[in-house]
Amino acid sequence: MSLTVAIVGRPNVGKSTLFNKLAGRKLALVHDTPGVTRDRREAETTLGTLTLRIIDTAGVADGAKDSLAARMTAQTMTAAAGADVCLFLIDGREGVTAADEIVAQALRPLGKPVVLAVNKCEGRQTHLGEGEGWSLGFGEPIAISAEHRLGLEELSEALAAFAGTEEEPAEAEPPPGDKPLRLAIIGRPNVGKSSIFNRLIGSERALTGPEAGITRDAVAARWHTEGREILLHDTAGLRKKARAAGHALEEMSVGSTLEAVRFADCAIVVMDATMAFEKQDLTIADLIAREGRAVVFAANKWDLVEKRAGAVGRLRDKLDRLLPQLAGAPLIGVSALTGEGMDRLLPSVLAADRAWNTRVPTATLNRFLEEALTRHAPPAIHGRRVRIRYMTQLKSRPPTFALFGTQLKALPEAYLRYLANGLRQAFHLEGAPLRFVLRTAKNPYAD
């Protein structure tokens, strides 16, 4: 039976390092700066004979009501309250501090079993935390080194005492092709990505607030809705590259966001409705298109838009003009604060996902091509007409089409956009970036 373990402690004691070592891969950001982790992160893993669901949490810190530190602590205590066991981590080099005492006081009222682990116990020397840990009242401290994977066997034995013996019923295998939809929420800082994330899953899973750049690491949550499983990722805001350069933590956050984009099937590009399609919005959307992911645009803070009559139409015109590679992509005006428009977001995502997975029969494609060439023939290059003889779809995810003919390398970009727009309208491919592969026939008379 899976045991849920929340890793808790004050900032900078090595919780994320331990989380990564137990998970077997680098899932959480790790840095020497205290307080890097702000949102809780989960992973399924095994330790010895145990099957674990581990939760990395933000450091517990004292802070004024409604401050960022207080909201981070509230998230941590929510994770601890929902866990089977709390793994309380302290720093073996520094011993028990006043901050550790605060964590201990916060854990006691929960009534959860607590395993005390003393981290950073490398080498043979005696560490302060091993002796002082007894004073916290959680039994014998376990000396470990997360960085060097020392003491994990003893940790497994301590956790095994709280593992159930009942066997979980085997989960039914999902039918082929019914894999979770991987959906990432992307955008500039402070446009409301985490608020939309929380609104979609129906709980305060991600930390939110008026401060820009609260989210540092991509946060994942499984979301079941309308018979579909969705793996939803909230991500850190993407600033201009020049502004992030030289800031190690921000560069790591950007890397985490880019990894979420590469992992995703579809991305929701969140913008501020009062200043939509700024340069950074366009850069982010273009990045997602180049990665070949389906796209849905969400203009958040719609409740702040003063002149709503025709506002969506004006935004759509901007989208088609500034991002021709994504012309016609779904665009929804939403307010994560009031819930306005949120009911239209999921249907738009599912429609974009269907477009991304579409395959068009070759015969149907060539009927479309014949009509397109009749309406608007390719231009002549140096007096010789470009000839497109036929086309076929090479793959989906994203839809990729091969054009066969002569002099295709000279085909203007504008003509490819004409074909792409026609394909989107004819086969409902809105929201999917389209790609073309040009295959020119060899000249038999060339040397």
pLDDT value at 176 more than 70:
no
Residues 133 and 275 in one domain: no
Residues 304 and 403 in one domain: no
Residues 244 and 317 in one domain: yes
Residues 208 and 147 in one domain: no
Domain assignment present for residue 447? The answer is no
Cβ atoms within 10 Å of 164's Cβ, excluding its own: 10
* pLDDT 10s digits, 307-336: 888 899 999 999 999 999 999 999 999 999
Residues 120 and 60 in one domain: yes
* pLDDT 10s digits, 94-119: 889 999 999 999 999 999 999 999 99
* pLDDT 10s digits, 221-258: 888 887 889 999 888 888 776 555 556 666 667 777 88
Phi, psi (deg, nearest 5) at residue 313: -60, -40
Residues 122 and 136 in one domain: yes
Per-residue pLDDT at 422: 95
Query: Two tokens at 267?
Result: 């991305």
Domain assignment present for residue 168? The answer is no
DSSP H or E run through 176: none
The mean pLDDT of the chain is 86
Residues 211 and 311 in one domain: yes
Residues 274 and 137 in one domain: no
Per-residue pLDDT at 244: 58
The tally of domains found in the chain comes to 3
HEC string for 425-445: HHHCCCCCCCEEEEEECCCCC
Between 150-154, 344-348, 439-443, the lowest mean confidence (pLDDT) is in: 439-443
Residues 22 and 106 in one domain: yes
Domain assignment present for residue 271? The answer is yes
Per-residue pLDDT at 181: 93
What's this model's pTM, rounded to 2 decimal places?
0.80
When computed from its CA atoms, the radius of gyration of the chain, rounded to whole angstroms, is 27
Residues 99 and 216 in one domain: no
Per-residue pLDDT at 357: 95
Q: How confident is the model at residue 173 (pLDDT cuts 50, 70, 90)?
A: very low
Residues 10 and 155 in one domain: yes
Q: How confident is the model at residue 174 (pLDDT cuts 50, 70, 90)?
A: very low
Range of the domain at 36: 3-160
CATH number, domain containing residue 426: 3.30.300.20
Domain boundary among 356, 391, 420: 356
Cβ atoms within 10 Å of 147's Cβ, excluding its own: 15
Between 93-102, 148-157, 380-389, 430-439, the lowest mean confidence (pLDDT) is in: 380-389
Domain assignment present for residue 174? The answer is no
Domain assignment present for residue 150? The answer is yes
CATH number, domain containing residue 198: 3.40.50.300
Contact 276, 312 (CB under 8 A): no
Residues 221 and 309 in one domain: yes
